C-alpha cells in the first residue's frame, strides 16, 4: 500500500487485513510507524491495529519502524509482535530511505533492539540491497556476511535479505544466502524479493536452493520501495509462491477458502489494480 498515493480509507484497510488474518500466514506486515510525511498512506496505522480481529488467528503482526520514536510507538500496542527495521548494506540507500548512514543505523538497531527486549517484541531486521547495488556502492556476498556478523552480536534473530528494485538474479541471491545461512544457523533468514513475471521463479528458487524457508509476499504483487528513487517493480505475488511451494511438495498451513475471500477484499481496496 505504501506506494499508492490516493489515501485508502481506514475501514477498507481493516477489512482487507482482517481477511488476511484468516488465511494462515505466519506474519502479517500490516502498517508502519514512520513519518506521515514520508509514507502518508500509512498514517492511520494506530487506528488500524485497534480494529484488527486477532481472536481466531495464529498470525503475528509486524509493523515497520524507521527510528527509535517509531519503535516506542509500536511497542505500546500489545497486539504487535514484530518491529521491522529497514537496514541496508548500501549507505546511499540508507540516506535516501531513512536519512541515515552505517554508524547511525547500527546505533539505531542497537537502541531498537533494547526497546524490543524491554517490551516483549522481536526485531525483524531487513537487509536491503542484499543482492546487488545500483547506487555505485560496493557490494558482494562478503559484505552481506560482514553486516550480518555485526548484527548477530546484537542478538538479532530474524533477518530477511531484501531486494530493493529487483536487481537480484539467481546467482547473486543464491550467493548472498549461502554467505550467511550456514555460519549463522541460529538466525532465521528470509527473502524479501521484488520480482517480475520473467524472473520470479528463478529468484525464489535461488533463495530456496540456498536454504531459505521464510518468504515475504504481497497478495496482488503490487509494491516496491517508494524511497528508492527508482520505478516500483512490484513484490513477489502470493499465488506464485504457493505454486512454487506446491511443486516442491512443501507442507504449509493455508486456508484456501479464506485466501479467495481475501482476494475479493483486495479488489475492493485496489480498484483497477486487481491481479488474478
All domains of the chain, ordered by start, with CATH?
Answer: 10-269 (3.20.20.70)
Distance of alpha carbon 252 from alpha carbon 250, whole angstroms: 6
> What global pTM score does this model have?
0.92
For each of the chain's 276 residues, which pLDDT tens digit applies?
776 778 889 999 999 999 999 999 999 999 999 888 888 888 999 999 999 999 999 999 999 999 999 999 999 999 999 999 999 999 998 888 788 899 999 999 999 999 999 999 999 999 999 999 988 899 999 999 999 999 999 999 999 999 977 889 999 999 999 999 999 999 999 999 988 889 999 999 999 999 999 999 998 777 655 554 455 567 899 999 999 999 999 998 899 999 999 998 888 887 655 443
Q: At residue 52, what are phi and psi to the nearest 5 degrees?
A: -80, 140
Distance of alpha carbon 34 from alpha carbon 42, whole angstroms: 8
Report the candidate in 164, 152, 143 with the shortest Cα–Cα distance to residue 113: 152
Amino acid at each position: 500500500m505504501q506506494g499508492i498515493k490516493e489515501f485508502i480509507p481506514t475501514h477498507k484497510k481493516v477489512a482487507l487485513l482482517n481477511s488476511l488474518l484468516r488465511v494462515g500466514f505466519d506474519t502479517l506486515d500490516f502498517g508502519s510507524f514512520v513519518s506521515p510525511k514520508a509514507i502518508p498512506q500509512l498514517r492511520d496505522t494506530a487506528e488500524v491495529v485497534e480494529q484488527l480481529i486477532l481472536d481466531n488467528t495464529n498470525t503475528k503482526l509486524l509493523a515497520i519502524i524507521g527510528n527509535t520514536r517509531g519503535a516506542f510507538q509500536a511497542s505500546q500496542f500489545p497486539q504487535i509482535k514484530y518491529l521491522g527495521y529497514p537496514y541496508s548494506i548500501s549507505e546511499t540507500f540508507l540516506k535516501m530511505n531513512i536519512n541515515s548512514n552505517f554508524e547511525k543505523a547500527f546505533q539505531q538497531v542497537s537502541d531498537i533492539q533494547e526497546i524490543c527486549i524491554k517490551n516483549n517484541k522481536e526485531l525483524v531486521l531487513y537487509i536491503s540491497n542484499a543482492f546487488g547495488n545500483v547506487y555505485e556502492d560496493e557490494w558482494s556476498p562478503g559484505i552481506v556476511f560482514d553486516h550480518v556478523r555485526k548484527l548477530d552480536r546484537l542478538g538479532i534473530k530474524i533477518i530477511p535479505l531484501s531486494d530493493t528494485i529487483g536487481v537480484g538474479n539467481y546467482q547473486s541471491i543464491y550467493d548472498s544466502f549461502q554467505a550467511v545461512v550456514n555460519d549463522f544457523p541460529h538466525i532465521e533468514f528470509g527473502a524479501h524479493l521484488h520480482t517480475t513475471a520473467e524472473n520470479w521463479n528463478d529468484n525464489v528458487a535461488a533463495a530456496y536452493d540456498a536454504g531459505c524457508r521464510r518468504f515475504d509476499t504481497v497478495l496482488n504483487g503490487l509494491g516496491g520501495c517508494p524511497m528508492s528513487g527508482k520505478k516500483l517493480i512490484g513484490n513477489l505475488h502470493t499465488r506464485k509462491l504457493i505454486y512454487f511451494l506446491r511443486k516442491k511438495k512443501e507442507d504449509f498451513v493455508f486456508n484456501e477458502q479464506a485466501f479467495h475471500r481475501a482476494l475479493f477484499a483486495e479488489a475492493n481496496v485496489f480498484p483497477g489494480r486487481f491481479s488474478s
